[in-house]
Amino acid sequence: NAGVTQTPKFQVLKTGQSMTLQCAQDMNHNSMYWYRQDPGMGLRLIYYSASEGTTDKGEVPNGYNVSRLNKREFSLRLESAAPSQTSVYFCASRQAIYGYTFGSGTRLTVV
């Protein structure tokens, strides 16, 4: 099925551990995004990639790094996880006049 595949779905990390969230889309979309969603707040943009080979900071980039490996894949890395990074993370892709397609989300808990 066409769409955005995001892994893992759940993860528990200890403070200071690192991990990479993977995202892949098979719709040939140019733009890809990483968002975090926290209770009582709207989705907040962490990083985005307007096209293969480019990445830009969003609203809340601190503590994260990204890689746009190719047109399909856009990964998000936490180098040293902190409890403040406990959140639900969504990857999304978008192409020009079309709307977003979202991944199913990753529920991350940092203890």
Partner 1 sequence: KNEVEQSPQNLTAQEGEFITINCSYSVGISALHWLQQHPGGGIVSLFMLSSGKKKHGRLIATINIQEKHSSLHITASHPRDSAVYICAVRTNTGNQFYFGTGTSLTVIP
Residues that bind partner 1 (CB under 8 A): 33, 35, 40-45, 48, 50, 56, 58, 88, 90, 92, 97-102, 104-105, 107
Residue 3 is classified by DSSP as S
Backbone dihedral angles phi then psi of residue 50, each to the nearest 5 degrees: -75, -25
Pairing of strands 19-25, 4-7: antiparallel
Nearer to partner 1, 35 or 74 (CB): 35
Least distance between partner 1 and beta carbon 28 (Å): 17
Query: What is d(CA 44, CA 21) in angstroms, rounded to the nearest whole number?
Result: 16
Nearer to partner 1, 17 or 102 (CB): 102
